Amino acid sequence: MVPNLQCDVCGRKIVGEPRRVIIEGAKMTTCSECAKLGSGFWEPEPPRAGQRTPPEKKVKTAAKKDSSGALAASFEEIEVIQDFGQLIKQARERMGLTPEDLGRRIGEKESVIKKVEGGKIVPDIRLTTKLEHALKIKLLTKTSEPKTEKTSLTEKLRREITLGEIAHLRWAKRRGLEDEGDNSSP
């Protein structure tokens, strides 16, 4: 039985036998249609005797448990604070570090540190957490939900008429007028 595979090129479900082709130097498993793009074929290496197959890698989840055991906010619900550049620069200077020193501490280039401090780039979550730990500051905050205004029931029911509704009303009106003319008896 063939496992449920997807083509590495087009993403569709592979129906039938998957093709193992080399496209621009990359080994890919494709459907028969995308296999035409390949310049050669490859065979999977059989596992050697005594060699274990590597276990599946677990994907790290964005949510972590805090000290109370509850799940903390996921990365999608966290954002960098507004004035992050100034805060980072002030904390770095308070610790007596140059941008180069801070970069060495967290494994980033000096130019990246300068661009973050200048607000030219917004650091991603990984870089932000490194900066938080190195500078002992708080840069991440939960995203605020956009506030929606409460509307009354009549305001919710009141809406604009669509073109489709106008066309339907005109068509119904014309049908009604035509039917009225046909009501005469012979």
Question: Residue 103 maps to which CATH number?
Answer: 1.10.260.40
Q: Which residue's entry shows tokens 């599946």? A: 56
Backbone angles phi, psi at 26, to 5 degrees: -100, 135
| Domain endpoint, select from 126, 142, 158 | 142
Residue 44 is predicted with a pLDDT of 76
| Domain endpoint, select from 142, 164, 179 | 142
The answer to whether 9 and 28 are in contact (CB under 8 A) is: yes
CB atoms within 10 A of CB 109: 12
Residue pLDDT, tens place only, 57-102: 333 334 444 454 444 444 457 888 888 999 999 999 999 999 999 9
Residue 124 lies in a domain: yes
Structural domain total, the chain: 2
Residue 61 lies in a domain: no
Residue 52 is predicted with a pLDDT of 54
Percentages of the chain per state (helix, strand, coil), in multiples of 5 = 35, 10, 50
User: Over 50: is that where the pLDDT of 56 sits?
Assistant: no
Residue 48 lies in a domain: no
Residue range of the domain that includes 6: 1-43
Q: Taken in order 9, 13, 16, 18, is the CA torsion positive or negative?
A: positive
Residue pLDDT, tens place only, 5-34: 888 888 888 888 888 888 877 888 888 888
More confident residue, 147 or 45: 45
Those residues with Cβ within 8 angstroms of residue 119's Cβ, 6 or more apart along the chain or in another chain: 84, 85
Q: Model pTM? A: 0.41
Residue 122 lies in a domain: yes
The answer to whether 20 and 40 are in contact (CB under 8 A) is: no
More confident residue, 146 or 113: 113
Beta strands in 24-137 (DSSP E): 26-30, 40-41, 78-80
User: Over 70: is that where the pLDDT of 113 sits?
Assistant: yes
Residue 136 lies in a domain: yes
